[in-house]
Amino acid sequence: QALRQISQRTISTASRRHVNRVPENQKLFQEDNGLPVHLKGGAKDSLLYRTTAGLTVFGTMYALYYLLVSSMPKKPN
């Protein structure tokens, strides 16, 4: 009985604190400001995009370097 009251109380209080931010986000992402959608979130999105792009370039160069190294014949000892 007590456990049931606690679980109901937790569920009912958690749902009261929920704020619907969908209309705010729709306004932000549908605004025509010339930015691509993946950068409309601000500085955090820009940092995430640049970090991802940098890691992608670094990883590609790293893979190509090791492909080149592994394609060379080994020197005899």
Is the per-residue pLDDT at 11 higher than 80? no
Q: If you write DSSP's letter for every residue of 15-62 in order, what string do you get? A: HHT----HHHHHHHHH--SS--GGGTT-HHHHHHHHHHHHHHHHHHHH
pTM value?
0.61
Residue 17, pLDDT score: 72
Is the per-residue pLDDT at 14 higher than 90? no
Is the per-residue pLDDT at 6 higher than 80? no
The pLDDT of 38-58, averaged and rounded, is 94
Domain parsing of the chain, residue ranges: 34-76
Which two three-digit tokens encode residue 24? 């705010």
pLDDT above 90 as % of the chain: 51
